Amino acid sequence: MLTDGTANTNGKNGGHGDVREVLVRDLPVRIFHWSLVAAVAVALLTGFFGEENLLTVHVWAGQAVAVLILFRIMWWFVGGRYSRFSAYPLNPRRVMEHLRHVAAGRSPLLAGHNPAGAWMIIILITLLFGLTLTGIVALGGEEDLGPLRAWVSYRLGDAAEEVHELLAWLLVAAIAGHLAGVFMETKVFGHPLLRAMTRGTMPVPPQDAERGSMALRGLVVFLVALGLFTVVWNGLSATPDTRWRQVTYIKAYSDNCGDCHHAHHPSLRTADMWERIVRGLEDHYGEDATIGKRNEEEILAFLKANSAEFFDTEAAVRLGRAKTKDLRISSVSWWKMRHENIPQQVFASPEVGSPANCNACHGDAETGRFDDAAIRIPRKAQAAGGQS
Ligand code: HEC
Ligand code: HEC
């Protein structure tokens, strides 16, 4: 009697006598599968093709993936007969045997997963686990958001994003492999895998049936996964932010330096650069911007106390501390690279006026955060640039 999930009939009525359409995939694993498909699709689409301000949606999708993966890992231990990790035929010898069978043109119908399929599940879940982890590190470091924002430096977040991207490509390749495997099993060998993952049934001997739909247990395990994730995410996110803080602008600065352009966040230049800017106001990009000695000292003290050296945000690291010849933020090559797709007419439009008016497009420019979610090019300015 075969009870370890490997019982098989060779094809549709392969000689083991009694073969019936019986339940082989518990309900939670089927709901998990299709929810994961949806969440991963949204994450991949927003990750590869989304505009910057879709990051919020990307993170929602990533959170959904994280909860689902957490659920699935727990389900490996308490799930249905064939959902359990212990039911996977992972032994390399079994894999080789399976591949030999496939090469010879036959693949027995199994109620459980075949060795190639079991390994594919592990590869997919490992990649998704790595993607959520590197995603959270990148989100914390680069965007100063999420549970790790207080601990991960901008540079580390930047490195994590590179790994995140690499893993995303590997995931795309693994999904292609998974689809190819399913296609092969269904079209070439006639195994109704799609039906197994929707209705949950397959024509196998009745003794190979799943124990039951396990809906209630699945719901409980899902709620535990959701609760665990929420508590950890929110708990860590509540730790004080050490890499960014709110700066209260002094009146002298807003009044005197927010007149011709918006008053730039102090973290966008180093103390040394601010000194040179404020000491050279007689010839400020061709304008006389002198403001009187008292104002000058007060403003300089404010700028130096909140300069780029005191922040570990993307704007402070990439723009504030970057070397430039003429002291302009907008002459930093990273700034140019990030804004190269914006036509000159957009900057020249009345709604923006100049690249110096960061706040025209960055709703949070005043905070120095420059979050992706706060980027909005004014509609009229966009029309001026011909990108309606
Ligand atoms: C009389 C008008 C005027 C005043 C007042 C003024 N600026 Fe400017 N500022 C300009 C102009 C014009 C530019 C060049 C803008 C451009 O390149 O489009 C500029 C550019 C800048 C830039 C570079 C922006 C970029 O594009 O990267 C900084 C930084 C800056 N100003 C700081 C200050 C500070 C600090 C003060 C107050 C002490 C100040 N400005 C007051 C006219 C002014
Ligand atoms: C005409 C609108 C516009 C203006 C003005 C503008 N930006 Fe941007 N900025 C954008 C857009 C759009 C993006 C996203 C580009 C992309 O898709 O990578 C961006 C991206 C950025 C980013 C990266 C954000 C992230 O998290 O990826 C930073 C930092 C930034 N801008 C800083 C500035 C600063 C500082 C100024 C002013 C000196 C400025 N920008 C002026 C439109 C603008």
- State in Å: Cα 86 to ligand 2 middle: 50
- pLDDT category, 324, cuts 50, 70, 90? confident
Out of 3-17, 26-40, 250-264, least confident range:
3-17
pLDDT, tens digit, for every residue of 238-253?
999 889 999 999 999 9
Q: What is the rounded distance in angstroms from the CA atom of residue 375 to the CA atom of residue 145?
A: 16
For residue 263 the two structure tokens come to 């008053």
Q: Output the pLDDT for position 5.
A: 41
- Say if ligand 1 is within 6 A of residue 285 CB: yes
> CA 265 to CA 258: how far, in whole Å?
11
What atom in ligand 1 is closest to the CA of residue 257?
Answer: 37
Tracing tokens 């930093």 back to the chain, one arrives at 332
* CA 93 / ligand 1 centre spacing (Å): 71
Residue of 285, 306, 346 best suited for mutating to test ligand 1, as the one with most atoms within 8 Å of CB: 285
Least trusted range by pLDDT, from 13-17, 75-79, 169-173, 381-385: 13-17
CA dihedral 176, 177, 179, 185 (to 10 degrees): 160
At 88, the amino acid letter reads Y
Q: Is 60 exceeded by the pLDDT of residue 135?
A: yes
CATH code linked to domain 8-237: 1.20.950.20
In the chain, residues under CATH classification 1.20.950.20 are 8-237
The Å distance, Cα 284 to ligand 1 centre, comes to: 7
Contact indicator for 161, 135 with CB cutoff of 8 Å: no
**How many CB atoms are closer than 10 A to CB 110?**
24
Residue 257 near ligand 1, beta carbon < 6 Å: yes
**Cα dihedral 144, 150, 152, 153 in deg (nearest 10):** 70
Q: Which residue's alpha carbon is nearest to atom 24 within ligand 1?
A: 356
pLDDT in tens, 81-130: 999 999 999 999 999 999 999 999 988 899 999 999 999 999 999 999 99
Q: Whose CA is nearest to atom 40 of ligand 2?
A: 358
- 152-165 pLDDT per residue, tens: 999 999 999 999 99
Neighbours of 10 (CB within 10 A): 12
Q: Which ligand is nearest to the CA of 341?
A: 2
Q: Whose CA is nearest to atom 41 of ligand 2?
A: 358
Query: Ligand 2: distance of its center to the CA of 56 in Å?
Result: 17
Kindly calculate the radius of gyration of the chain based on its CA atoms and give it in whole angstroms: 29
Beta carbon of 289 within 6 Å of any ligand 1 atom: yes
- Residue 16 has a pLDDT of 54
> Is 0.75 topped by the overall pTM?
yes
Nearest of 151, 129, 128 to residue 139 by alpha carbon: 151
* Per-residue buried b or exposed e for 337-349, using 16+ beta carbons within 10 Å of the residue's own CB: eeeeebeeebbeb
Which residues does 294 contact at the CB level (< 8 Å), separation at least 6?
A: none
Neighbours of 15 (CB within 10 A): 8
**CA pair distance 166, 161, nearest whole angstrom:** 9
pLDDT per residue as tens digits for the range 47-85: 999 888 899 999 999 999 999 999 999 999 999 999 999
For ligand 1, say whether the CB of 278 is within 6 Å of any of its atoms. yes
